[in-house]
Amino acid sequence: MKFIYSILIIAALFLAGCKNNLEVAASHYLDIPVVYSLLNINETYPTGTRTHYIRIQKGYLLKGNAYLATGIIDSIYYPNNIRVMLYGSAGYDSFKLTQVNGATLGLNKDTGIFANTPNYLYSFTTPSPPAGDTLNPLETYTLVITKTANNRIDTMATAVDSIVSNFPIYSPSNLGSSTIAFSNSQPAVLTWGAAQNGGIYDLTVRFFYREYSSLTNTLTKDTFIDIPVFQSYIPSNTGSSNLTFTLTSSIITTYLANNLVASPNIYREFNYQSGMQFKFAAGGNALANYFLQQQAQSGLTSSNALPAYTNISGGIGIFSSRNYQEVDSIVLDGNGLDSLACDPNAAKLNFKNSVGRICN
């Protein structure tokens, strides 16, 4: 799942567009945190189970070209004088976050206009239940950022959100039959349970296949391709306990046709041993609100630009959560194999059909 945002560059872009007023504004400078957080109740990647990271940077103001400061560490990060806490609404669980350099943990920051090393993040680890407190979808969590200056503690920013719960996947299912229909005339209806506190969904199908040389009949590649089935899907029936999506073969075959190389010297077959993985992702309500506002601003009828969405009081950015669930080893039935091989979109890829033949 890729819930990708450019939240961290909002402050810099805004200031660059207003640099003629920087000298006047300098006397009214406000220290504004920029926060990006997507907590995950099942976090395992990349540094261990239940270790969570929150990015906190700062907006800045200076004379001259604001872009020049994007490469200066002191301009975009706080020194170690802020305190970051996470409080659960039940009143007995709280977590103090520690500043760490993600670059030393394998968490590298993408290159761009902002300095990418060091990569300062704020981290906390929840203990394994029942030994201690862990994130709970039944609670709300409050992020509090305070700063100590002149022997005084000031609250800089706060944010409140809930944790996206685990959710079941009903179809396709690893229980019982793991075969799925896959044709336009007989589409598959995907069904999953709505996640508690979830407001937006992604689905990616990891499709395993093999490639062979047509000249020698030897295996040349045993691999997979990730197919985005839907992204940033916000259900209209928010009160429903179950959600559905109709998967036609054209969704899969069109993507394969546009992303695999067609060659008369290659033929392919669906990998029955690995099958397909259906990777569902659910994002929190704050993420859904962010996307809804983005859609409202991009409409042709919108006459005024709305403020950038944020749920950070005293700052800008997103404080939300996400959850991943998947089912594995889902294989195609005969109709699915025939659609894969003979669909006009994908016939040029030379997939074998249900009787081991190539359609074109």
Give 297-350 as a DSSP string: HHSTT--SPPPPP--EETSEEEEEEEEEEEEEEEEE-HHHHHHHHH-TTTGGG-
- The pairing of beta strand 120-125 with beta strand 140-149: unpaired
**Two structure tokens written together for 155:** 């609250």
Angle between helix axes 334-342 and 249-259 (nearest 10 degrees) is 40
- 236: alpha, beta or left? (left if phi > 0; alpha if psi -120 to 50): alpha
Reply yes or no: is the peptide bond before residue 118 cis, omega within 30 of 0: yes
Q: Which one-letter DSSP state was computed for residue 81? A: T
Instruction: Answer for the pair 109, 116: CB distance below 8 angstroms, yes or no.
Output: yes
Measured in whole angstroms, the distance separating CA 83 from the mean position of its chain's CA atoms is 27
Per-residue pLDDT of 23-57, as tens digits, reads 444 444 567 899 999 999 988 876 667 899 999 98
According to CATH, what is the number of the domain 7-163?
A: 2.60.40
User: How far is the C-alpha of 170 from the C-alpha of 176, rounded, in Å?
Assistant: 11
pLDDT-wise least confident of 160-169, 215-224, 305-314: 305-314
Bigger pLDDT: 52 vs 126: 52
Per-residue pLDDT of 220-254, as tens digits, reads 999 999 999 999 999 887 667 999 999 988 999 99
Bigger pLDDT: 87 vs 10: 87
Give which of 109, 39, 108, 33 is closest to 77, Cα–Cα. Answer: 33
Bigger pLDDT: 187 vs 280: 280
**Whole-Å CA distances, 77 to 80, 298, 311:** 9, 31, 20
Predicted confidence band of residue 150 (pLDDT cuts 50, 70, 90): confident
Bigger pLDDT: 246 vs 66: 246
Q: Residue 27's CB: how many other CB atoms inside 10 A? A: 6
User: How far is the C-alpha of 247 from the C-alpha of 278, rounded, in Å?
Assistant: 12
What value does the mean pLDDT take over residues 262-284? Answer: 95
**What is the reported pLDDT for 183?**
74
Predicted confidence band of residue 15 (pLDDT cuts 50, 70, 90): very low
Instruction: Answer for the pair 27, 340: CB distance below 8 angstroms, yes or no.
Output: no
Predicted confidence band of residue 9 (pLDDT cuts 50, 70, 90): very low
The residues spanned by each domain of the chain are: 7-163, 169-281+324-349
Is the per-residue pLDDT at 6 higher than 50? Answer: no
**What is the reported pLDDT for 70?**
56
**What is the reported pLDDT for 346?**
92
Bigger pLDDT: 70 vs 344: 344
Predicted confidence band of residue 294 (pLDDT cuts 50, 70, 90): confident
Instruction: Return mean pLDDT, the chain.
Output: 82
Length of the chain: 360
Is the per-residue pLDDT at 22 higher than 50? Answer: no
pLDDT-wise least confident of 34-43, 302-311, 341-350: 302-311
